[in-house]
Amino acid sequence: MLKSSIWAIFIAFALTMVMCHYAIPFLHRLKFGQQIREEGPKEHQKKAGTPTMGGIVFLITILVTGIFFLRSHRQILPILFMTAGFGLVGFVDDYIKIVMKRSEGFTPLQKFLAQFVITTIFCYYMLAKSGLGTSVLIPFSGGQMWKMPVWLYVPVLYVAVLGTDNGVNFSDGLDGLCSSVTIAVAAFFLVAGYKLGAETGPACGAVIGALMAFLVYNVYPAKVFMGDTGSLALGGFVVSTAYLLQMPIFILLVGFIYLVEVVSVILQVTYFKKTGGKRLFRMAPIHHHFELGGWSESRVVCVFTTVTVLMGLLSYMAM
C-alpha cells in the first residue's frame, strides 16, 4: 500500500502542475476573479481579480488519480465520493458568485440541504455497506475501540461531517493556509492508514501530491485561489478518510486548526450579539485576528501548519 501511496503522490503532483500551467491563464481569460469582502482586512483588497475556483484543478486530479488505484483499493471509493460531492457543492456556490455575479452564492439553507443530502448517503454507506459498524478508535487508549450506539453514531456523524467541512472552508482565507494545513492532515492519515493496514493510502497520496503542486501557485502572493470548490472538497476528504479509518475523534486533534477556525467564528458571532456589537477577536475566522495583530500572511500559515504537524505527531502517539 505504501508504494501505491507514493505513486499517487507523484502522479497527482505531475498532473496538477501541468493543469495549473494551463488552467490559471484560462481562468484569467474567463474573468473568474476573486471578489474580496469589503469588511475583510484592507490588505486583501489588492487580491481582487486573482483567479479563483482553482480547486477544480486539484479536485479533478485527485479523482483521476484515485480512480487509477480504485480496482486495487476499493476502500477509497467513499472518500472519492465525499470529495467529489462536496467539491460539486463548492463549485456551484463559486459559479453563482463568480459567473452569475450573486455575491452570496448559495443561500445558507440551500448549502446546508446540499451538504445534508451528501452526508446522508455517506451515513448510509458507513452503516450498511462499509462493514465497519459503529466502532471508533479511542485516542490514548492503546488501540481500544468504542462501539457507539446507532442513536449516537448517526447525529455525531452529521455534526462531524458538516463541522469539519465548514472548518476546512473557514481555513481558506490566507494564501496557502488551507493547502498547507491539509497536506499535513493528509500525511497523518496516510501514515495512520498504513499502520492500521487500511486501503486509504492512494487517496491520501493523491491529496498530498495535488496540494503540493497547487501550493506552487497558491503560496503568498497567490496566483490562484481554490475557492469553495477546493476547500469544501478537501473537507469531504478529511472527514470521510477519518471515518473509513474509524478515527473520527482524531479530527479534533489533527484537525485542531479547523476546529479553532470554526469555534472562533461561533464565539465571535455569539459575543457580538450578546454584547450589542462588541468583538471578542479583531476579526474572525481567527487567522484574521493574528493578521490584524501584525503577523504577515506567511507567518500565520507557517505557525498554523507547524501546529498541525505537531498535532499530527500527537495523534500518532494517541493511536
Boundaries of every domain in the chain:
2-252
Q: What mean pLDDT, rounded, does the chain reach? A: 89
What separation in angstroms does the CA of 275 have from each of 235, 268, 312? 32, 11, 37
* DSSP-assigned beta bridge partners for residue 33: 51
* DSSP-assigned beta bridge partners for residue 135: 147
d(CA 162, CA 260): 15
Q: For 203-262, what is each residue's pLDDT tens digit?
A: 999 999 999 999 999 998 888 889 899 999 999 999 999 999 999 999 999 999 999 999
Tell me, what's the pLDDT at 38? 53
d(CA 248, CA 135): 10
In sequence order, the 6+-apart residues with CB closer than 8 A to the CB of 59 are: 83, 84, 87, 91, 229, 230, 233
Of 318, 193, 301, 191, whose CA–CA distance to 257 is shortest?
301
> CB of 184 within 8 A of CB of 28?
no
> CB of 245 within 8 A of CB of 196?
yes
Q: For 247-283, what is each residue's pLDDT tens digit?
A: 999 999 999 999 999 999 999 998 888 888 888 888 8
